Structure 1
């Protein structure tokens, strides 16, 4: 029951903080998610019954993924297309990867769940410093018609970096921002757009496919004939090299290829695992599959942020993550299907990987492109792709890139 309530909290948190981020700013959403997670974690230590424990798990669930997701969006909105992949993925490789590898051994060393909660929950209160160290997204300010606040943020960057934005560049940014048509963009408005609605539906299926395979391989860590802690550590350790490799090649080979390709390879490795004996051979195939699923899942996370317009990026991103939570609920049942046939879980995960690979091939490529600021920008990305819309002449595409570089200086 506690696990179910935890994921219910994750869904509620995704909806709430996604809405806050799009309507009140990225920084308030970051603070809210981390503070609720910290409060829920610390409060769990003092629970005395099932019901207050479940309530605290709901609060922690609200922060699950949202604490990371909101600041991930904020950072991407400040990074140019040239450096976006490095900043987005190296941070995941280092911090998420090292956290996954170290957490089971920290838990084993502490051997006290209350003390473990102190160690993992209290660092979330560092977010109280956010108003003084985290600048609000200039893109979000522009999407809300608050050009003056966007300029103030850029002026702060000048002081911190010790450089000055050329006056003609700043003037051009102000003019472009004030001329941008302001609309009440929301997920409802996005779903009324046929191209963006199709992208959202396909991305939901892709997210769910990656989530099921990712979570399924984690839950099967003790089913490969090795010690749980060793299996979990080895599969988690693939996060660091896989995401680091992704950072090197994502801007060369593109999001589409580095989602479809790794998912296909993972399905092959899972298929091989069906025919090899338990123990090291089967665990090796599972670890290899986890390596490529890490690459695909991380590429999808960045890809989805690059496809969604600024006005709905947080709520749309949250919706995609919610679909991942819902899919994760299915993974225990997939693992338990071994009672029907021992190899059925691997077969199901392999089929889901193939499905995700096929879906990714019809999504538009965003390599080297600026992130869409408006719904019209998002529709343009879809329409110029050969798979999802009509292509446009190369000359028009170059003109569009030049125009976007002028209008999205921030």
Structure 2
């Protein structure tokens, strides 16, 4: 039976107040087959999201290219770097130029199989008119983007801009204070697994641009599959759809092999209806209050937080995606590097989980930001020939920014009052051609600045969740009551 007539769980005679957490923990069970199934289905979605979020790193990757030399080869040359290439193309370090060639000389080619230097005017350098590509694996070949680096980079820029734009739209408070740290780390872990899968697939299948299109088909199926999952009980209850929320709870109890009491469900509905009436009264009172922006400017503590927290979010997004994208440009196997950089995110997320509740939010954020900054600076000045050490420093920096991701979600939500938390959280979550190391200088600078800014905000470990602007402003005050 999934339902019983009476229960003593938080109910006196069926008329006591019962909240959803009580039913979930004490009657339904915190983690049973129902929760495991839901988690598994959600994991599939998030893993595919990780693949979709990172595939452009490979589909838009650079391809080595050079000028087509019509005097010496056909429009479909068989070799990318023939023996004669430096006769026709200027040298560029240990290789040859990608976008320039020598002009034609006055000497005609007498041997079709050769391409001697004397047929070119080596004192005159011209831009390429057409190109030869080392491979055809990315959109650089598809759209002929050789020597148009800004167009190739624009694809990634638009992708990141879309991510930043979507953040305020998709932010939701889905978990209570007890579970949001672990829940956030779990979701981020699945996302990192998706990125690892993208790297492995790109490694195994060179023609990745064809494969990644096929991935969207099963991804669409997964989204449809997601629809068969039950809607959130909290969402149903927030909309007053109690019959549907009770149906989900009963189905969960059936799957978990537990029982729910009619008295508890009745008490839960009464409690939620009372909470809804209270919320409606609060909305009426809120309508009489000044606009949120006016309240923020009137409260110096909240205004300060609104100025500081967006810097954290911009920093973490900038550094996280920058390090992820640049992994394929490091020396060594681009796929191995990308998989390693994605995999080290996972210990970073869970390190934050272990430390946030022990040493506080501020120390974790400061240490993570500053250590990440130190890694970027060290990477800039790393001498050549130390590829292994460079990769280790790079991976430590990525682990630190993963710690920041988990920490900044938790800390930001705790700094704002309940009725304005969603709006202010959403507000909080809304740059190498001249210098090769410029990205790392920017990463390190932003991380260093963000770590410094943590000092000016209060610690929230153990503090009561604020419900009003006044309570939020008092966080960190020694007189504040601790839970």
- Same-fold call, TM cutoff 0.5: yes
1:154 and 1:383, CA in 2 relative to 1: closer, same or farther beyond 3 A?
farther
Question: For 1:118-143, what per-residue CA distance to the aligned partner results, in whole angstroms no more than 9, with x for missing partners?
Answer: 2145414433455552424637964x
Give the structure 2 partner of residue 356 of structure 1. Answer: 450
Q: Which moved more, 1:57-66 or 1:362-371?
A: 57-66
The correspondence of residues 181-192 of structure 1 with structure 2, limited to 5 A, is 181-183=281-283, 189-192=291-294
Distance 1:306 1:192 in 2: 21
Q: Which runs of 5+ in 2 are unaligned?
A: 1-44, 57-141, 145-154, 254-258
Count of matched residue pairs: 320
Give the structure 2 partner of residue 292 of structure 1. Answer: 400
Which structure would you say has the larger RCO, counting Cα contacts within 8 Å and 6 or more residues apart? 1
Alpha-carbon RMSD across the aligned residues, in angstroms, is 4.2
How much does 1:197 deviate?
A: 4.2
The correspondence of residues 112-191 of structure 1 with structure 2, limited to 5 A, is 112-120=208-216, 122-130=218-226, 132-136=228-232, 138=234, 142=238, 146=239, 148-149=240-241, 153=245, 156-161=248-253, 162-164=259-261, 165=264, 171-180=270-279, 181-183=281-283, 189-191=291-293
Q: Which has the larger radius of gyration?
A: 2
Contact (CA 8 Å) 1:210, 1:356: kept in 2 or not?
Answer: no
Contact (CA 8 Å) 1:273, 1:281: kept in 2 or not?
Answer: no
Contact (CA 8 Å) 2:184, 2:406: kept in 1 or not?
Answer: no
How much does 1:294 deviate?
A: 0.9
Contact (CA 8 Å) 1:266, 1:290: kept in 2 or not?
Answer: yes
Give the structure 2 partner of residue 254 of structure 1. Answer: 360
Is 1:234 aligned to 2:340, yes or no? yes
Distance 1:237 1:245 in 2: 14
Give the structure 2 partner of residue 107 of structure 1. Answer: 202
Contact (CA 8 Å) 1:264, 1:354: kept in 2 or not?
Answer: yes
Question: For 1:351-378, what per-residue CA distance to the aligned partner results, in whole angstroms no more than 9, with x for missing partners?
Answer: 2111111222333444456766xxxx15
Give the structure 2 partner of residue 393 of structure 1. Answer: 479
Distance 1:138 1:264 in 2: 38
Give the structure 2 partner of residue 21 of structure 1. Answer: none
Question: For 1:38-60, what per-residue CA distance to the aligned partner results, in whole angstroms no more than 9, with x for missing partners?
Answer: 9xx9xxxxxx999xxxxx99998
Is 1:193 aligned to 2:295, yes or no? yes
Give the structure 2 partner of residue 88 of structure 1. Answer: 184
Question: For 1:367-407, what per-residue CA distance to the aligned partner results, in whole angstroms no more than 9, with x for missing partners?
Answer: 456766xxxx1524521223xxxx2634xx25xx6xxxxxx
Distance 1:124 1:310 in 2: 35
Is 1:301 aligned to 2:409, yes or no? yes
Contact (CA 8 Å) 2:463, 2:475: kept in 1 or not?
Answer: no
Larger proportion of strand: 2
Q: Which runs of 5+ in 1 are unaligned?
A: 1-29, 42-47, 51-55, 324-329, 402-410
Contact (CA 8 Å) 1:140, 1:310: kept in 2 or not?
Answer: no
How much does 1:316 deviate?
A: 5.0
Distance 2:291 2:246 in 1: 30
Q: Which moved more, 1:153-162 or 1:292-301?
A: 153-162
1:360 and 1:242, CA in 2 relative to 1: closer, same or farther beyond 3 A?
same
Give the structure 1 partner of residue 433 of structure 2. Answer: 336
Contact (CA 8 Å) 1:199, 1:363: kept in 2 or not?
Answer: yes
Distance 2:454 2:250 in 1: 40
- Secondary structure of 1:97's partner? helix
1:172 and 1:247, CA in 2 relative to 1: closer, same or farther beyond 3 A?
same
How much does 1:171 deviate?
A: 4.0
Contact (CA 8 Å) 1:140, 1:311: kept in 2 or not?
Answer: no
How much does 1:338 deviate?
A: 2.0
How much does 1:290 deviate?
A: 0.9
1:365 and 1:174, CA in 2 relative to 1: closer, same or farther beyond 3 A?
farther
Larger proportion of helix: 1
1:197 and 1:338, CA in 2 relative to 1: closer, same or farther beyond 3 A?
same
